[in-house]
Structures are given as C-alpha cells and as structure tokens.
Amino acid sequence: MIHEVIVTTVNKDNLVHIAPMGIKFIDHANQKCIKISPFKPSQTLDNLVSTKKATINFIDDVMVFAGIVTGIKKEWDLSPQAKDNVAHLSNTNSYMNLKVLNVVEDELRPNIICNIHDTQNLRPFMGFNRAQFSVIELAVLSTRLGMIDDEKVKREYEYLKIGIDKTAGEREKLAWNWIEDKIRGYFEK
Ligand SMILES: Cc1cc2nc3c(=O)[nH]c(=O)nc-3n(C[C@H](O)[C@H](O)[C@H](O)COP(=O)(O)O)c2cc1C
C-alpha cells in the first residue's frame, strides 16, 4: 500500500525541505522500515543522501499538498526536534522520524530504505473524507501535466469534483481552488 504523506528533510546547512511523496512500509505489519522513492532530480533525494534522515508527516490538511504542488505556499509551520531528527509539521496528525539505512540506486527513481526510530501521534485521525481524496488525486495529476493525455486530465477533474461538491470543508475547497488554477493556467497556455 502507498501512503501519501509529507516528507520533511534537511540539507547539510540544516535547512528544512517539505515535499509530498508516496511512501511504502516494507514490512507493513511490523512497521519497522519505510521506502521513499523520489524521482531524479529532487531536493528530497539530495537531502536524504547527504544527511541520511527524514521525518514522515501523516497529515489530513490537504492544503499542505496543494500549496507545495502549486508553489502558492511552500513553507509551513514546523516544530523543531532534537538535532538528530528532522522537524515535523506543527499541524500533522502523526509523524515518524527516520534514518536512512540504504540507497538503492536507479537512473530514474532510487529507493531510499529507512529505519523508523520514533512514532508520535499528535492529533486523532478523523476518518476518511472524499474531498481530501479528490484534492490528493488532483495534486498528483497537476504534477503530471503534459506527461499524461490532456483529455484524461479533464475527465478525471470532472469526476474528482463530485467529492469536492458533496463533502468539502473550507480547507479542502481552498486547496482544490489552488490546484484548479494551476491546471487552468496549463490549458490556457
Ligand atoms: C500526493 C503526491 C505524491 C507524490 N509522490 C511522489 C513520489 O513518490 N516521488 C516523487 O519524486 N515525487 C512525488 N510527488 C511529486 C513531488 O512532491 C514534487 O515533484 C516535489 O517537487 C519533489 O521534488 P523536490 O524534493 O525537489 O521538492 C508527489 C506529489 C504528490 C502531490
């Protein structure tokens, strides 16, 4: 199973980088290891390789995903941690501190295998929401404009909008609007 999360990493100067990624548990039942697979080139990949640590944020605030993929809001509040760990998002539901165990090289998309050192729950999981699913899907689509068929993007947009119209709260509506503007900009070019 792939979990859509926010990965926080640091570079050598301890500058935090925030990026949405799909991650996998290697041993799902025991939750000991996680695989992160960033495409090349990416800041997340460079940071993972050079400082060998990351924090995985499991967060239901989809504005973070939308803000980053659109470039509208790339910086989010962070809660600092001990020097050995990477800061987590202040409003995350839960997080895991990771240490890089192994980098499995690949020309396109290396696999970064990480050990889970610590898990903390800060806010309860509030159940599934269809509008949040729609925002995540549209966010992914918006990172692939020009790579996937334009008609497919339009069809999927129409389908995903149903979840927004029926179930969105204010944050989901705002996040949707940000990504919608990015996609509109692409089609108007
Ligand atoms: C839900 C979601 C999942 C994503 N998963 C991945 C992923 O697994 N690998 C990846 O390279 N990019 C993924 N992306 C795209 C990256 O977030 C985006 O390209 C980002 O800029 C990463 O590059 P950076 O580390 O240089 O910021 C995902 C985007 C979204 C919205």
Separation of CA 20 and ligand 1 centre (Å)? 5
Separation of CA 38 and ligand 1 centre (Å)? 7
Domain C-terminal end among 121, 155, 174? 121
Looking at the structure, tell me whether residues 108 and 178 fall in a common domain: no
Domain C-terminal end among 121, 138, 160? 121
Domain that holds residue 114: 2-121
Looking at the structure, tell me whether residues 134 and 174 fall in a common domain: yes
Looking at the structure, tell me whether residues 28 and 56 fall in a common domain: yes
Looking at the structure, tell me whether residues 153 and 116 fall in a common domain: no
114-133: b or e for each residue (b if 16 or more CB lie within 10 Å)? bebeeeeebeeeeeebbbbb
pTM of this structure:
0.97
- 3-state class of 101 per DSSP? strand
Q: What is the pLDDT along the chain (189 residues), one digit of tens a residue?
A: 999 999 999 999 999 999 999 999 998 777 789 999 999 999 999 999 999 999 999 999 999 999 999 999 999 999 988 889 999 999 999 999 999 999 999 999 999 999 999 999 999 999 999 999 999 999 999 999 999 999 999 999 999 999 999 999 999 999 999 999 999 999 998
Q: What is the pLDDT of residue 29?
A: 73
- 42 CA closest ligand 1 atom index: 26
Instruction: Spell out which residues line ligand 1, taking CB within 6 angstroms.
Output: 4, 19-22, 37-39, 42-44, 65, 69, 136, 139-140, 143
Looking at the structure, tell me whether residues 75 and 158 fall in a common domain: no
Q: Which of 4, 21, 64, 69 to mutate to test the pocket of ligand 1 (most atoms within 8 A of CB)?
A: 21
Sequence-distant contacts of 142-151: CB under 8 A, at least 24 apart? 142/69, 142/70, 142/179, 142/182, 142/183, 143/69, 145/183, 145/186, 146/186, 150/187
- 136 CA closest ligand 1 atom index: 1
Looking at the structure, tell me whether residues 138 and 182 fall in a common domain: yes
CATH of the domain at 36: 2.30.110.10
Q: What is the pLDDT of residue 105?
A: 96
Looking at the structure, tell me whether residues 113 and 134 fall in a common domain: no
Looking at the structure, tell me whether residues 45 and 104 fall in a common domain: yes
Looking at the structure, tell me whether residues 68 and 154 fall in a common domain: no
How many domains does the chain fold into?
Answer: 2
Looking at the structure, tell me whether residues 7 and 89 fall in a common domain: yes
- 4 CA closest ligand 1 atom index: 1
Domain C-terminal end among 121, 144, 171? 121
Looking at the structure, tell me whether residues 110 and 138 fall in a common domain: no
Separation of CA 105 and ligand 1 centre (Å)? 18
Looking at the structure, tell me whether residues 169 and 135 fall in a common domain: yes
